[in-house]
Structure 1
Amino acid sequence: MKRDAEETRPGHKELGRVLVAGGVLAGEWIPAFEAVPRAAFLPELIWPFDMETGRSVPVSWSAEPGVWSGYAEADVPIVTQWDDGAHTGTEPGEVATSSASMPSVVFRMLRDLDVRPGQRVLEIGTGTGWNAALLAQRAGSGQVVSVEVDPGVAERARAALDRFGCVVEVVQGDGLLGHPAGGPYERTIATCGLRELPFAWVEQSRPGAVIVAPWGTHHGNGDAAVRLVVADDGASATGRFTGPVEFMKARAQRLSPVEHSAYVGEGERETSGTTVTERDFLGEGRFAPQRFAVGLRVRECVQVVAEKRDGRRAVWLYGLTDRSWACVQFRDAGSAQVWQAGPRRLWDEAEAAYRWWEENGRPGHGRFGLTVRPGGQWAWLDDPEGADAWPV
């Protein structure tokens, strides 16, 4: 299979114009973008996300080279593996487990990382190898170590990097442990969603080093990119969230789907109502800041938003440490009804978190931050040393 890089250059240049116009492709990253096309790191069969249909579609280079190239140079995420490699066939599998991220997300996070030539860089999650190649183009040959948990993905990325002539050390292993042999690092970036940021990454960093990672809570699949700076004494790293993103979760931190029947039975439940509306609580889209804020404040809880039917939408909350559950049914007309059961009153906690968000001026992602220490991680609003800081 031969793919002439020149065939994709017009699309590649147009993508560059889109990214620059959107403010995500910073000037210092333009040479890397121009030198390292995503198409060079994609397999023959890909599953790009079609924005019009809202689903992943199979596209083969051998069958549809023009369509394949169009997606390769478009600002869309592309799945490259399903079900940890167990998937066969051309139709999408159950769970996407490796991908090439949207270029706009890639370059927004690289902009946050602020890599300088000659710096040592640790990447967690090699994937296709495209991000590692971009990092190496900026930091320099041999300056990047990339850790990939999946042996097959690691081998394919290593081969793609070798074909491209890019010197990156690809290590197959658990990225949550970092790679101390290649450190200390001035920059660390993760390309998988985290629910707990490992302190090992801080320990393997120089003072003043930058760590950029997608981070979130089990409340939902959405993440936010956080930019941490390692303290001068190396005892902590702290920084703000820079905006919403969504990544495949680190394998060791994936959450199994909640079994509804394990929670909701014939036992006693409390019934009440709420004046909070669907628009209030869910906001505009799945990346609404109030969803992120509620997830930060209501610990060990999963939220499931049901499809809307006949002017009604149910939102379920499930506790992760016990069998507490709650359901609020929002209605287009009339107040919402609430059911709760178990040791915790999860809707009461969620409503209190929403009211807290309102009382604090409806903060966006950028007013929140994260601090990581050996004993755990803490979220905060506005000031890491202020009164509004809590363990997450």
Structure 2
Amino acid sequence: MSGQWRGMAARLVADGALTAEWEPVFEGLPRAGFLPDLFWQHHVATGEVEAVDRMRDPRRWREAADSVHPLVTQWDDGEHEGPGRGRVASSSASAPPVVAAMLRDLTVRSGQRVLEIGTGTGWNAALLASRLGAENVTTVEVDTSVAAAARGALERQGLGAVTVVCGDGFQGYPARAPYDRIIVTCGVHTFPRAWWEQCRPGGVIVVPWGTRFTPTEATVALTVAEDGRSASGTFKDLVQFMSLRAQRRAVPEYADYVTTESRDEAERSATTLTLAETIGGEWDSSRLVLGLLVPDCTVVLDEPQEGQRPVWLCSVADDRSWACVLFREDRQHSTVYQYGDRRLWDEVEAAYGWWREQGRPGLGRLGLTVDDDGHHVWVEK
């Protein structure tokens, strides 16, 4: 174990992300033991992605492996080749602080059985197996090559008794149910019934949950009700995970929404809200709140041009409603154009007003309940 990894583990303990029970497990299983020779380091602060090749620069590879940054390990569902950046990141090794916090929120106890959705490199499954016993861990991965690589890494670590399944994690894995805990390592905006049905009453499900509004998500720890028909809990931390493949956030095509007719018929108005206080902050809970309150809508932020920044809101339902706000931070008002059955910016303003009236509740006061009727968001007083 490198001194860099040991030092990071100590910092995570000091920050409260890594609990005392997880500290020796974390220290004993560095992320480096589960990584391929070539990966891409994602610098969260800048958004830049850097290829790191073990064969070319082993020192840099180890430094990145033991860093706090998330690492992309596959692009474009395995179709991408070479050291360049692909189009869509499709598998990764999550940032250690996020991994530690989610394991903390899972509140596992000795002897419990855990289902993981999204095996990835196998590192998270290995941490669970080291703490609970490999025979108590089942992990599901949709990608055949990713599952095979993870299985090999687990065997090299002496944890080959972990059950690695290649399949659709959205269906869970009923063959080994019921589980005491379920942990999901991919972002979702639709919560499948299979997960709470395969978890024991009183069990905990930790999942990065978000909306189609923006990529911003939040982890939530849901406790399964005693009757097994629902699960409920509060949001924990803002995150951005790769989406479950069937739920990837598609960027709308401009031509599908903004036709000559819709441009001519769009209603013009103005808003005093700014981009920064609504949807401009990538790590701001307002993005999550607005997404919860303005359903079936996605946001596209254009590059600034001529002193203004166009922001598009598109309905992902069949109605093709859209809105465009030309934000001007140097003016009191910004111009708004809206078209379709929905007035999407009006919905955003109403949602923002509600959030402000509630005292701008953060994640600790916002909760989620899932049942057969869908998802329900609530605010703790």
TMscore range, shorter length: over 0.9
Structure 1 length as normaliser, TM-score? 0.93
SS at match of 1:146: strand
Separation in 2 of the partners of 1:112 and 1:52? Answer: 25
Q: Could you tell me which of 27, 38, 42 is aligned with 2:35?
A: 42
Q: Who is 1:390 aligned against?
A: none
Q: Over aligned residue pairs, what C-alpha RMSD do you find?
A: 1.3
Gaps of 5+ in 2: none
The Cα shift of 1:52 comes to 6.9
| Compared CA separation, residues 53 and 275, structure 1 to 2 (3 A) | closer
Question: How many residue pairs align between the two structures?
Answer: 375
Separation in 1 of the partners of 2:187 and 2:243? Answer: 4
Separation in 2 of the partners of 1:270 and 1:375? Answer: 35
Separation in 2 of the partners of 1:228 and 1:282? Answer: 26
| Compared CA separation, residues 52 and 250, structure 1 to 2 (3 A) | closer
Q: Could you tell me which of 147, 161, 171 is aligned with 1:177?
A: 171
SS at match of 1:28: coil
Deviations 1:366-389 (A, max 9, x none): 211111112322122227xxxxxx
Moved more, 185-194 or 306-315: 306-315
Report whether the alignment pairs 1:381 with 2:379: yes
Separation in 2 of the partners of 1:324 and 1:349? Answer: 12
Q: Could you tell me which of 75, 94, 112 is aligned with 2:68?
A: 75
The Cα shift of 1:280 comes to 2.4
8 Å CA contact 2:220–2:233 kept in 1: the answer is yes
SS at match of 1:295: helix
8 Å CA contact 1:292–1:365 kept in 2: the answer is no
Q: Could you tell me which of 257, 265, 281 is aligned with 1:263?
A: 257
Moved more, 374-383 or 24-33: 374-383
Matches within 5 A, 1:104-119: 104-119=97-112
The Cα shift of 1:307 comes to 2.6
Q: Who is 1:343 aligned against?
A: 341
Deviations 1:61-95 (A, max 9, x none): 11111000000000000000000000011111110
* Amino acid in the other structure paired with 2:141: E
Q: Could you tell me which of 316, 319, 336 is aligned with 2:315?
A: 319
Matches within 5 A, 1:238-257: 238-257=232-251
Separation in 2 of the partners of 1:120 and 1:163? Answer: 22
Separation in 2 of the partners of 1:77 and 1:16? Answer: 15
SS at match of 2:135: coil
Q: Who is 2:182 aligned against?
A: 188
Separation in 2 of the partners of 1:184 and 1:68? Answer: 40
Separation in 2 of the partners of 1:237 and 1:332? Answer: 42
Gaps of 5+ in 1: 1-7, 384-392
Structure 2 length as normaliser, TM-score? 0.96
* Amino acid in the other structure paired with 1:9: S
Matches within 5 A, 1:1-392: 8-50=1-43, 54-166=47-159, 167-267=161-261, 268-282=265-279, 285-321=281-317, 322-334=319-331, 335-382=333-380
Separation in 2 of the partners of 1:54 and 1:346? Answer: 28
Separation in 2 of the partners of 1:254 and 1:191? Answer: 14
The Cα shift of 1:54 comes to 3.2
SS at match of 1:75: coil
8 Å CA contact 1:209–1:229 kept in 2: the answer is yes
The Cα shift of 1:53 comes to 5.3
Percentage of matched positions with identical amino acids? 52
